[in-house]
Every structure is written in structure tokens, then in C-alpha cells.
């Protein structure tokens, strides 16, 4: 999995924008939600916060940009297909991953019609994402290494080349090191490690449950 952009805004401090369309107020909040559970929790928090809103419509894509395995949306009482799904289409084409947007609408007394609602909700999300600060998500893996002491210094010099970071060390008959490494560099790192140790170094990935 390669690196990709995610929102810098947290669920505790979401990114906020607002537009007024024919006296209806559309307030959009967006946050980084790495997984459907985080997205649903964010939605519920905003629903509680804006319980006085006429509608709290939402959409999330909790995986990598454009991936549809972890998505969800809701019209929250607006006519079917006029809010949640149009919002989700904007999210999926944003080139941003792991995000959830909630648009809270306070009805202003003028009906917008189905086409007007679709445009209003999509424009609300587009405007929010246009000013959204992003950070790069770099999928990391954890590696357990066992190397001879004679190769430790060479290994340490190798780490910056692969953006690897030490995460633990233990010294016994051999040196045992734990590293955090961008997943995309794994195969090249293993080749370099074999080269510097003449094939003697041991390297294995530590699964989450072992960490």
C-alpha cells in the first residue's frame, strides 16, 4: 500500500466551513477517520452537537483514496439520493483517504428541490475540501531483526536510506532490533540487509497482535 493524503483535522477539532443557500444554512465538518468505527463515532458526535439542525447528512470513505470497501452515507431525512450519496461521490473523487464529512442543514424556509439539494450538499463538501489541510499517511510495518554485532553499525547507517526508525533494541549473543519501516520499502530493505550481513541477518514482520 502506497502513501496517500489524509485530513490533518482530528475528530476533536474538525475542519469547518459554512455556506448559505436561499436562507438555508449548510455547516460542513470534516475529520480524519481511519476506519468505519471512527467515522460512525464522528457522525454521532456531530449529530449530538447539532441536534437542533433540520438534517445531519454524512458520508465517509475510511480507506485509501477512491477505495469503496469502507464507505457509508446517509440522507438523514432529505429526499432519497439528494444528500448522502452525492456527498460520497465528491469524497471518493477528492484524492483524500480516511475522511468523514457531516453537513448539518438548518432549513431557511425556501425549498431547493431535488436538483438544488444535490448541488447544495456537493458544493458544501467541495468548499470544505478545497481548504482542508492534509498530511501524508505512510503505511508502516514493524520488523524484528537479529544481526551479528559486526553488522550493527552498517545497519544503522542504512536506516535513513529507507526511512526506517528504531523502535527497540536488545543485546544478547546477537543484536535484536525492532524497526518501523514504510511498507513500500520492505523488499528493497531486505535485499540491502542481506547484502550488508552476507545473508546472516534474520528479518521478520511483527504482526499487530505481537506488538
pTM metric for this prediction: 0.74
DSSP-derived 3-state class of residue 151: helix
Ranges in the chain annotated CATH 3.30.230.30: 4-137
Could you tell me the three cell numbers for 121? 450538499
Is the pLDDT at 2 greater than 90? The verdict is no
Domain 140-206, CATH class in plain words? alpha beta
pLDDT at residue 211 in the model: 42
Strand order in the sheet with 165-171: 165-171, 175-182, 140-147, 202-206
pLDDT at residue 135 in the model: 94
Where does 4-137 sit in CATH, by number? 3.30.230.30
Pairwise pLDDT comparison (210 vs 98), residue with the higher score: 98
Categorize the per-residue pLDDT at 208 as very low, low, confident or very high, splitting at 50, 70 and 90: low
How many angstroms separate the CA atoms of 47 and 55, rounded? Answer: 9
Return the percentage of the chain with pLDDT > 70, whole number. Answer: 98
Ranges in the chain annotated CATH 3.30.70.240: 140-206
Contact (Cβ atoms closer than 8 angstroms) between residue 55 and residue 81:
no
Amino acid at each position: 500500500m502506497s502513501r496517500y493524503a489524509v485530513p490533518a483535522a482530528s475528530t476533536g477539532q474538525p475542519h469547518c466551513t459554512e455556506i448559505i443557500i436561499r436562507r438555508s444554512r449548510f455547516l460542513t465538518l470534516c475529520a480524519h477517520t481511519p476506519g468505519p468505527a471512527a467515522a460512525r463515532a464522528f457522525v454521532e458526535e456531530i449529530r449530538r452537537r447539532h441536534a437542533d439542525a433540520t438534517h445531519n447528512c454524512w458520508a465517509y470513505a475510511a480507506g485509501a483514496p477512491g477505495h469503496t470497501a469502507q464507505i457509508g452515507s446517509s440522507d438523514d431525512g432529505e429526499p432519497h439520493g439528494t444528500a448522502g450519496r452525492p456527498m460520497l461521490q465528491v469524497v471518493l473523487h477528492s484524492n483524500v483517504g480516511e475522511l468523514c464529512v457531516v453537513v448539518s442543514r438548518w432549513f431557511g424556509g425556501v425549498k431547493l428541490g431535488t436538483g438544488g439539494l444535490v448541488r447544495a450538499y456537493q458544493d458544501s463538501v467541495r468548499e470544505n475540501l478545497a481548504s482542508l489541510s492534509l498530511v501524508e499517511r505512510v503505511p508502516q510495518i514493524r520488523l524484528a531483526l537479529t544481526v551479528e554485532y559486526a553488522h550493527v553499525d552498517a545497519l544503522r547507517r542504512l536506516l535513513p536510506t529507507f526511512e526506517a526508525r528504531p523502535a527497540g533494541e536488545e543485546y544478547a549473543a546477537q543484536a535484536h532490533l525492532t524497526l518501523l519501516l514504510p511498507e513500500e520499502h520492505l523488499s528493497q530493505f531486505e535485499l540491502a540487509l542481506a547484502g550488508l550481513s552476507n545473508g546472516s541477518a534474520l528479518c521478520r514482520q511483527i504482526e499487530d497482535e505481537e506488538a
